């Protein structure tokens, strides 16, 4: 049979999306659908902005996020520095009550620090040195009173107050590892720079490290806190070392 020679309709390559090939009725979006589409577009646009802002915040370096965060202590306008300090002081959580033990009436310490402190006091007493505990664990609530009430009484600025007392939530005393020590034979030097002239301080300088107690704020310390020869912290456990790691790193 001879091949079919019927005329073949001419074919033209057509872009399926070319408007000319789509009937007008199909190219026209109903107004109700247009409104719905615009609302969805607006919502998706707003959501996109939120997602972008969230992603940017998460990708932002931690020090920058700290700097841009709101002030961490109510009533104190100061913000965190890039390394997480507030007016020179690092943040510290409050030790759980279950970890505290009494060392003298009305004073408590973390059990690890308490055991080391009592051993240190006994060793000092054997050499005729009377080391007294002036202050130990302080709750964040108590630290708040000490910071703001005394600040008001002395008409101090926040910076002036922070040089001698940490803001609440930023005190080593709240960890249960820090103590203020004095010389029982020289009470007039209690909580004073002149404590460094006492027999108790000289003994601590020579022997405190053996009991894992270290002077927190020596002269010209990098935290910018006033010299406190009476303030010592315990670093004799893995947990204590972790708590004070940032402060140790700054002092190196």
Do 240 and 161 reside in the same domain of the chain?
Answer: yes
Digit-coded pLDDT (tens) for 217-251: 999 999 988 999 999 999 999 999 999 999 999 98
Question: Residue 52: is its pLDDT beyond 50?
Answer: no
Considering the entire predicted model, what is its pTM? Answer: 0.71
Do 39 and 109 reside in the same domain of the chain?
Answer: no
Do 107 and 48 reside in the same domain of the chain?
Answer: no
Mean pLDDT calculated for residue range 150-176: 85
124/159 Cα distance (integer angstroms)? 36
Q: What average pLDDT does the structure give for the chain? A: 81
Positive or negative: CA dihedral 220, 188, 179, 166: negative
User: Where in the sequence is the domain holding 212, given as residue range(s)?
Assistant: 97-251
Do 49 and 166 reside in the same domain of the chain?
Answer: no
Last residue within a domain, chosen from 59, 86, 107: 59
Question: Residue 117: is its pLDDT beyond 70?
Answer: yes
Do 53 and 103 reside in the same domain of the chain?
Answer: no
Task: Report the number of distinct structural domains present in the chain.
Answer: 2
Digit-coded pLDDT (tens) for 176-202: 999 999 999 999 999 999 999 999 999
Mean pLDDT calculated for residue range 97-105: 97
In a domain, 73, yes or no: no
Question: Residue 18: is its pLDDT beyond 50?
Answer: no
In a domain, 90, yes or no: no
Q: CATH number, domain at 202?
A: 3.30.1380.10
In a domain, 68, yes or no: no
In a domain, 194, yes or no: yes
């Amino acid at each position: 049979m001879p091949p079919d020679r019927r005329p073949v309709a001419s074919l033209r390559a057509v872009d399926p999306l070319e408007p000319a090939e789509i009937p007008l009725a199909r190219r026209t979006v109903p107004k109700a659908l247009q409104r719905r589409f615009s609302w969805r577009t607006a919502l998706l646009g707003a959501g996109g902005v939120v997602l972008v802002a969230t992603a940017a915040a998460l990708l932002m370096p931690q020090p920058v996020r700290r700097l841009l965060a709101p002030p961490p202590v109510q009533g104190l306008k100061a913000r965190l520095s890039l390394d997480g300090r507030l007016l020179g002081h690092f943040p510290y959580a409050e030790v759980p009550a279950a970890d505290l033990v009494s060392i003298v009436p009305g004073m408590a310490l973390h059990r690890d620090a308490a055991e080391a402190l009592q051993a240190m006091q006994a060793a000092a007493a054997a050499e005729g040195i009377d080391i007294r505990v002036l202050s130990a664990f302080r709750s964040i609530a108590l630290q708040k009173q000490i910071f703001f009430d005394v600040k008001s009484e002395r008409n101090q600025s926040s910076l002036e107050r922070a040089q001698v007392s940490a803001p609440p939530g930023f005190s080593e005393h709240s960890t249960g590892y820090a103590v203020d020590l004095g010389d029982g034979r020289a009470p007039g030097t209690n909580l004073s720079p002149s404590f460094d002239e006492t027999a108790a301080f000289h003994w601590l300088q020579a022997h405190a490290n053996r009991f894992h107690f270290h002077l927190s704020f020596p002269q010209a310390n990098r935290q910018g806190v006033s010299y406190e020869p009476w303030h010592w912290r315990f670093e004799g456990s893995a947990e204590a070392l972790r708590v004070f790691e940032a402060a140790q790193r700054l002092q190196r």
